[in-house]
């Protein structure tokens, strides 16, 4: 069997672009993958076009060797754009191999270790009362782990983000949510790397002990020493890693105890080939995976297979919960997509990823539509993180 084509499809679904990638073979077996580099799809498409130059004609069953060749085939290896391209191709290759052998992808990763995939619910709201209400709603509907999002910027200026204003309001809202759900629920906050060390520490210190079970991405990841400093200022566990593009980026966070949950993104880190290495490394340090999953059904399907096959797994991010339905999973272009059963995803039994795409419904890649994530500014006009 040989690879005959690698095609990229940037598609606007819900509130953002998704970059779907199809790898075709001379046997008629094909696989689907997805890139995690949202809003910079053109860059990833360019990398995929480069890789296609030497992947056409190669054996798709040799995913590990092709991963190494893609990673090492340029002098300036690595980086999020390249690993997002590698991830999409690698996921598609596993889809092909599962279909060719007639087994689900998790069988290629060691076999199924659990009967279903637990998820965590995401909650965002416009008032503290509404946040508490939604948190109680998802708890009553079966979610035992709930992630809260900080209050959105003021409606009169939706691009404004002032950290100190945010941590004041968010602390109050989180305390109200904890009172609503009680002590039995696992409760976390996603701060989308918008804070400094001092701001993140102050936020945690404004919360009564036991309010938070994890704090997700409070600061940027480029400097592990910054996380080490923050670790000395709070006891709240950290959920970190959605920005990491390789096992090497995970290295200091795992080895130095700077993360308690690994927010690995299968579509950014390099696909299954790299993800299983990170998962094993985390297992050796008693760190559970809490995978990042903000994209679409291809990413969800792939991550469900990874979650099924590893022992150290906590919850999968789910963007189909009350109060956070982004519409990224419901497009008619997705066939046989993963579907929630209450607060969990069933483990699929079909060969490959178990998902397919209605290509007739896909737009012409030449008619690319640019989408842009928000550009946040502080009150003084300076730029800050979204």
Of the candidates 278, 286, 289, the residue with the CA atom closest to the CA atom of residue 247: 278
User: What are 322's two structure tokens?
Assistant: 């009350």
- Given the residues 193, 292, 305, 329, select the one marked as catalytic: 292
Is 148 in contact with 131 (CB distance < 8 Å)?
A: yes
**CA 183 – CA 329 distance, rounded (Å):** 31
Counting other chains too, the contacts that 309-312 makes at CB distance below 8 Å and 24 or more residues apart are 309/106, 309/109, 309/110, 309/111, 309/112, 309/113, 309/276, 310/109, 310/110, 310/113, 310/276, 310/279, 310/283, 311/113, 311/283, 312/279, 312/282, 312/283, 312/286, 312/287, 312/288
The reply to whether 292 belongs to the active site is yes
Distances in whole angstroms, Cα of residue 223 to Cα of each of 56, 227, 258 = 39, 7, 11
DSSP three-state, residue 176: helix
Neighbours of 193 (CB within 10 A): 18
Instruction: List, in sequence order, every residue forming a beta bridge with 24; answer none if it has no partner.
Output: 5, 30
- Given the residues 192, 193, 285, 383, select the one marked as catalytic: 192
CA 188 to chain centre: 16
Residues 106/347/247/99 CA torsion (nearest 10 deg): 40
- For the chain, give me the number of helices (H) and strands (E)? 12, 16
Of the candidates 106, 93, 117, the residue with the CA atom closest to the CA atom of residue 270: 93
Of the candidates 345, 336, 294, 355, the residue with the CA atom closest to the CA atom of residue 94: 355
**Which class for 368: exposed (0-12), middle (13-18), buried (19 or more C-beta within 10 A)?**
middle
The reply to whether 383 belongs to the active site is no
Would you please indicate which residues are annotated as catalytic (active-site) residues? 192, 292
């Amino acid at each position: 069997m040989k690879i005959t084509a690698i095609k990229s499809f940037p598609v606007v679904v819900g509130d953002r672009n998704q970059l779907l990638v199809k790898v075709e073979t001379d046997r008629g077996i094909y696989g689907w993958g997805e890139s995690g580099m949202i809003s910079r799809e053109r860059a990833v498409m360019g990398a995929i076009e480069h890789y296609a130059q030497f992947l056409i004609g190669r054996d798709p069953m040799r995913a590990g060797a092709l991963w190494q060749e893609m990673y090492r085939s340029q002098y300036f290896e690595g980086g999020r754009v390249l690993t997002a391209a590698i991830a999409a191709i690698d996921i598609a290759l596993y889809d092909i191999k599962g279909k060719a052998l007639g087994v689900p992808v998790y069988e290629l990763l060691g076999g199924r270790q659990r009967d279903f995939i637990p998820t965590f619910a995401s909650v965002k709201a416009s008032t503290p009362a509404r946040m508490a209400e939604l948190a109680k709603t998802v708890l009553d509907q079966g979610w035992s782990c709930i992630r809260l999002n900080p209050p959105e910027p003021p409606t009169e200026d939706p691009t404004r983000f002032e950290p100190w204003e945010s941590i004041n309001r968010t602390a109050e809202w989180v305390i109200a949510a904890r009172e609503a759900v009680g002590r039995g629920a696992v409760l976390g906050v996603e701060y989308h790397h918008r804070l400094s060390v001092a701001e993140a520490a102050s936020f945690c210190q404004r919360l009564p002990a036991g309010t938070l079970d994890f704090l997700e991405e409070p600061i940027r990841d480029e400097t592990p020493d910054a996380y080490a400093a923050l670790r000395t200022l709070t006891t709240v566990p950290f959920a970190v890693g959605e920005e990491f593009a390789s096992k090497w980026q995970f290295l200091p966070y795992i080895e130095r105890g700077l993360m308690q949950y690994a927010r690995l993104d299968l579509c950014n880190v390099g696909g299954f080939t790299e993800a299983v290495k990170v998962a094993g490394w985390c297992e050796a340090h008693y760190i559970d995976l809490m995978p990042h999953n903000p994209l679409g059904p291809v990413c969800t399907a792939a991550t469900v297979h990874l979650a099924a096959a590893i022992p150290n797994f906590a919850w999968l991010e789910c963007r189909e919960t009350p109060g956070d339905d982004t519409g990224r999973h419901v497009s008619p272009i997705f066939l046989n997509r993963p579907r929630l059963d209450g607060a969990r995803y069933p483990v699929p039994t079909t060969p490959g990823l178990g998902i397919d795409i209605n290509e007739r419904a896909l737009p012409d890649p030449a008619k690319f539509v640019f989408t842009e994530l928000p550009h946040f500014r502080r009150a003084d006009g300076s730029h800050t993180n979204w």
